[in-house]
Structure 1
Amino acid sequence: MTAAPAPAGTTGTDDAKPSGPASAPASASPSAAVDLSAPDKVAESFARQYLARNPPKDQTHRAAVGRAAPWATRSLTANLEANSDPAFDKLVSRGGVSAVSAVKVEPAGGKLPPDTPLRVWRTVTATVDVQGYTNTTETTVIQTEVTHTESGWRVSGILGV
């Protein structure tokens, strides 16, 4: 699935209000703050929350979307919630639970648009440990579009999920 990025030339300001509490994601400790000050931090935090999944507890992929929502625009959150996630379904079929053990964030470069003061693309490489019928370690690579909004940087698009 590919989540559509914000239209070119927009800043995502109409998306600036988080879909959940601004202080912390639903499953984080109460003292964990949402840091929207830097695009790399936002991309990393989004990936850590979105790729950590526990199907028996979560029931659907929407729980991971909800945990990642504080670092995403409302439109991206709605897009992810409205579409199925083959990776979640694969995890369920393998009896797995995933945890993110490492994340590396780099400028995307390549065929993606160049960075601007209001929008950057980042390549996020996550090491995901899966415990299930077979324990594995996977490397997941996603391209994130991170847009500066009125409330700070937020992931506004994803390629590779």
Structure 2
Amino acid sequence: MRVPQLYKRPGWQRFFAGTAVGGAISWCIFLYIYGVWQEENTELIQKQQQEIVDLNNEKKIWQDEYKEINRRKIEQLTVQKIYIKITNAEKYKLDSLSVLETEDSVHDDISMMLAKDIDTVYKSKDLIKKIIENKQVKINDKRYKLKVKEMVIYTNLTIQLEIDFE
């Protein structure tokens, strides 16, 4: 069998030439469109990757800041220090060493309130008052009794005391 000779039929020659040229042109168009799409998608992927990295860094910063704020809030909501002050020591002409020792002994008695949350300390304020007022202090062979004049409960527990003869 023989392949027919197409050079004798110019219509077929034009058809095959047109399909070859059309195939080449369509292949070029396909490569151009595919290349443009690929380039756009590559740029989009790189942009999204950079955005993901930025958002992860921002998220980490927010989380660290949130943890730090929580840590500070927890510290603020607990009793950090206890201050005791006797206000009328001059009335009985007490020396400052005796007053300081008395303040220290009261501080030791209520030191259990350190690092407690403010709500617990507030609920225990009557107990603190009774602990202080039931304490008898002996200074220079005289017995004194303490009375709570003012109590401020916050991150620092501040107590002002008055001293009286028993």
Q: Give the TM-score category using the shorter length.
A: under 0.3
Q: Which has the higher strand share?
A: 1
TM-score, structure 1 normalization = 0.28
Computing the radius of gyration from Cα coordinates, the structure with the larger value is 2
